[in-house]
Structure 1
Amino acid sequence: MARKKTTSRTKKSPSLWRVAPLRALRRGLLRGILVAFALILLWVVSYRVINPLTTLYMQSEKRYLGEIEREWVDADDIAPVMLRSVVAAEDANFCLHMGFDLDAIKTAIDSGATRGASTISQQVVKNAFLWHGRSWSRKMLEALLTPVVELTWPKRRILEVYLNIAEFDEGVFGVHAASYQYFNTGPESLTADQAARLAMVLPAPKARSAAVPTAAQRRRIAVIQDGAQLIANDGRASCFED
């Protein structure tokens, strides 16, 4: 009786045929995520030297309002007291941390506050690269990108970008537009009082006015003025002043 020929080839299990495409899909997804993250990192690092033309929030407000006011101004053309005032108002330990103020975070948690621990660096990341909101996905991206900004941008550049993309009134973005909107003067000529008034409206420009502050806001302005002078005297402005 003739024997059946044997072959060295073995048929692959149907399960293996199913696993192979899944592995390829996972590898493709991983590559896609890595490429996307690398592009985001390149975007973040590029803003060290490239001035942001716009932001997602600016575009949203422009669609809603029809037009916004904004003109870029270099940090060298902003009154030094304005830089000190916004730091005093928003992030007094700006020169002492690397993006996250742990003491402020602890204080906010202990007091039950919902806001108050966000540093200027975190706000720059949110305003320049992300969207507004309280979603965990945005918070996670903010936490990942803030150290990149701190490691690759000088502190003065962080402040410069912040002061050019922050909203100071409805549809009024940046310290240049805000200076003319409220005081009819350029940002290089701001007085200590005017700078403190502008810093006071952050981060709620639609609910506060630098031109017509309430009694409580006037007290806040006085605190900011004192704080700006204090950080100038104790060295906490050294990282962003020439």
Structure 2
Amino acid sequence: MAARARRWNRTGVKGWLRRGIVAVVVLAFVPVVLTLVYALPFVHPVSTLMLRDLATFSGYDRRWVSIEDVAPVMAYSVIMSEDGQFCFHHGVDLAELKGVVDDALQGEATRGASTVTMQTVKNLFLWSRPLATVRKVVELPLAVYFDAILSKRRIMEIYLNIAEWGPGIYGVEAAAQANFGVSASQLTRRQAALLTVALPNPMTRSPARPGRGLKRLANLIERRAARSGAYVGCLN
């Protein structure tokens, strides 16, 4: 009887293990397949945070807008603030990543090294917290794959349409309307800079009511965007 129970337990554990492996493989293929779907220009992806808001009946405001209908200075500001090498790397900025690893090995405070592509795949397929380190391990190869399949222009278009700009506010069109009462196509350099500097912490930073520190950051991004030149060439 005891031997039969042990055999049943071993069989049960193996069964659960097989099912777990199958589940992991299936989940791994979801981003791979969805990336191919998202390459199609008429597809309007949603983020995991937007899905969360739907699941919790919170609702959200997102109005998809083509990148052709976004003031170019908005994308320029994002690149010059969030990812200066966006047009040159392949999803991951290896130089920035090496700097972060070196700082960590030396016991120094680490800085962010997320590219726009990495932020996009995180918003589309992954989570923010907890287990951020585990997420990064998954995020890196996904970003490289995403960059290989989609054009830089399409990646930026998706990013601008799924980025969170406040509670229930997603995408540049909803953000422009909520903060400045204009469409994304009418954003000025100043407005684009203010929206950009709010991105790292959209729950506490208000583009419409910026404090002194946020204004200083916006001044810096505004100047960088005006001199972006070759840094944004892949969007033209």
TM-score band w.r.t. shorter chain: 0.7 to 0.9
Q: Larger radius of gyration, structure 1 or 2? A: 1
Give a deviation string over 1:119-160, Cα, whole Å, max 9, x none.
100000000111222513322221221111010000011110
Change (3 A) 1:113 1:239: farther
Which residue is equivalent to 1:122?
118
Which residue is equivalent to 2:44?
51
**Larger helix percent:** 2
Change (3 A) 1:78 1:123: same
Which residue is equivalent to 2:205?
208
The more displaced of 27-36 and 136-145 is 27-36
Describe the SS at the equivalent of 1:194. Answer: helix
Describe the SS at the equivalent of 1:143. Answer: helix
Describe the SS at the equivalent of 1:160. Answer: helix
* Count of equivalent residues: 221
Which residue is equivalent to 1:4?
none
Structure 2 unpaired stretches of 5+: 1-6
Change (3 A) 1:227 1:202: same
Change (3 A) 1:219 1:145: same
Q: Which amino acid aligns with 2:44?
A: N
Contact 2:166–2:203, Cα closer than 8 Å, also in 1: yes
Cα RMSD between the aligned structures?
Answer: 2.7
2:29 is the alignment partner of 1:38? yes
Change (3 A) 1:206 1:36: closer
In the superposition, the TM-score normalised over structure 2's length comes to 0.83
In the superposition, the TM-score normalised over structure 1's length comes to 0.81
Give a deviation string over 1:22-49, Cα, whole Å, max 9, x none.
9x96888766655553343111221111
Structure 1 unpaired stretches of 5+: 1-16
Give a deviation string over 1:63-98, Cα, whole Å, max 9, x none.
557221111101010000001011111111111111
Percent identity of paired positions between Structure 1 and Structure 2: 35
